[in-house]
Structure 1
């Protein structure tokens, strides 16, 4: 286990491993997203109450799941960087932050669009919506902190601390519909309970969730590889890659 962690902490080894993983992740992401989109948008039955407007769930739910998962992953990466000083963990966290912010915005925007036919309004200061908005501000704060310091290490430490502290917002988002009275519906499906939707509705949703996660992994690998090349530009192995490219 520690040997694997040590290898993952090597920018060169991670760069080489990610080169092999990236095509598989992109392929899986494209296959899953195309399958889930076509199935959910054109073949899944309409909801008996919301009609076809419910189909935005195939974007809203995966984006919301991913937005929360990315922040937790950032917090773990920040902890690894702070405790073990593994540079690749900070590089990955830096690569994830804009993606997580984008997914949070997509979740908020799609939820607002969904709210018009469902609630009759674009926005309510609902506990779930408000905590998701706070998550977006946390992402923006993490991104801003990285550029607010003259030294990269100082910005990385500050961003890591904010991510580790801000992760307390994730269980608030998840359990807000249980702790407070909210307009937001409970989770569409969980790992511990039978889905409330019929199979032909929740199966394409599951495929879309998996597709979003594969897309995130592929894009994170790509962005982390670019970050490694940028930070390790003076390393011999990077110089060798540049010479080979020429």
Structure 2
């Protein structure tokens, strides 16, 4: 029986669609490498390794969605975007996905382009856009940072799930039962709950790091507040 855990297995999507998204993923990673080099420094490099290890661990936790061997899991896109930025964050998740596919057989090797597009490109991009918006309108306090992390994580998980629905519509080959609308509804609702869990984990992790070392949170360094910081914040977070 085929298994889909947001990691799309071989045979779920046809070859031409998988190849097309493979090109998209390669192009996005090439841009990520070029832009990520500009961000890497003595703080970001070790943090990137820690983020990749953490994401690898949380992605091993799967939650059943369908009885036909389909499940979802935490992604880590918002966490990576907040701690190491969108470019390095996308690369971290892509590396995790490659290792999982090649070493652990989690996700088909032929489907890597699809998985990287959904989880490393789409999820991180949506998360970082929301982070950039929310950090401009919310106070840079513990509550503001927690809300930002939670919302970005929740939305990015659902959007990544919808990325799979789009790919399945373009070239799905496995019988997942029902019609496309039913598939989209099931994926959206199930990943909404998964997103809540990811949001709580992301918010807790980011706030903990920010309280101890706010300089290690990429989003706080790179995204300037709309108004000058006041005494209500210390190092960007209080």
Which structure shows the higher helix fraction? Answer: 1
TM-score scaled by structure 1? 0.29
| RCO higher in structure (CA 8 A, sep ≥6) | 1
| The structure with more radius of gyration | 1
